[in-house]
Amino acid sequence: MSDSADDQRYELRFSVQRAGAQFSAAVQLPVEMAAAVTNAPGEDPAQTQVCADQWFIQELVQERGGSLVIGELVDGQLRLSVRGYDSGDEETMHIVWGRGEPVLVSSTGKAVALAELPTVPLPTSAQAGMPPGMKTLECALQEPGNAHFLTLRVGAQGRLQGLSYTAATPGGNCAVDADREDGATTWRDAADATTITWPDGRTDEPDSASSLRVTREGDGYALNMAHLLPGSFCGQSAQTAGFIDLMPGSGRCTVQERESEPGND
């Protein structure tokens, strides 16, 4: 699960590899739900369950009750839903397989099929604070063991307002998020490009901070991510892509890795 720098957008993404095929889907969570989650840092994998190689369930534990983000493989697609449940102070919940589907069972003996739990309303772009005229552009590249997902938020005349990037690689996962209003990143605009800088560099080395350059190329966007510090955005030995091209309408990212990259000046 990743969040934005200003903690106003929370996204949970499933990336599933099965029989040589890779499926991915993401859901945006309501801010109040994400803020109430009590999962300990690094606990997410332990809270994820797989049932019958068809259901993928992430539990988001809260003080009383919680939510389940459920991914189900249906007709070659990974469909996501979010359902809520209530519990008492000393009551624990766990998921078992029963009745031919996942079932939520409490320590008091109550059992209910996940499909019977109430659905949690999810925010639309307007509810999430998307200004009028703003639109999102998305692309993905999914290969066995390696996946990249990019979302750009652009306003009038295609001006970049924010971006979200996640990667799932053999070395681990990466998440990069920035918004003009996040108060953490610095944005510098040129005629056809925007450079974003993060406050993660050394104070005695002015050019050591992470930076990313987004260039308009016709209707498309080209991202130079070669100057992001992996330790600020990635776990374990993972690294972000070096370059990504997004062409609206194609849905597929072009990802490039180079040994020598130009600067982000």
Q: Are strands 193-197 and 160-169 parallel, antiparallel or unpaired?
A: unpaired
pTM over 0.75? The answer is no
Residue of 78, 195, 227 lying closest to 147 (CA atoms): 78
Decide: 57 and 2 in contact? Cβ < 8 Å. Answer: no
Rounded CA separation 89/77 (Å): 37
Residue of 176, 183, 164, 170 lying closest to 236 (CA atoms): 170
Mean of all residue pLDDT scores within the chain: 79
CB-count burial class (<10 Å; 0-12, 13-18, 19+) for 244: buried
Phi, psi of 114 (to 5 degrees): -60, -35
Is residue 221 predicted with pLDDT exceeding 90?
A: yes
Q: Which amino acid is at 17?
A: Q
Q: Which of 83-97, 127-141, 180-194 has the lowest mean pLDDT?
A: 127-141
- The predicted-structure confidence for 133-177, as pLDDT tens digits, reads as follows 678 888 888 877 788 889 898 987 888 999 989 888 877 888 898
Q: To the nearest whole percent, how much of the chain has pLDDT over 90? A: 17
Three-state SS at 45: helix
Which pLDDT score is estimated for 157? 81
Q: Which residue has the higher pLDDT, 109 or 35?
A: 109
Rounded CA separation 41/62 (Å): 14
Q: How far is CA 109 from CA 90, 98, 250, in A?
A: 13, 14, 50
- The predicted-structure confidence for 228-239, as pLDDT tens digits, reads as follows 988 888 877 788
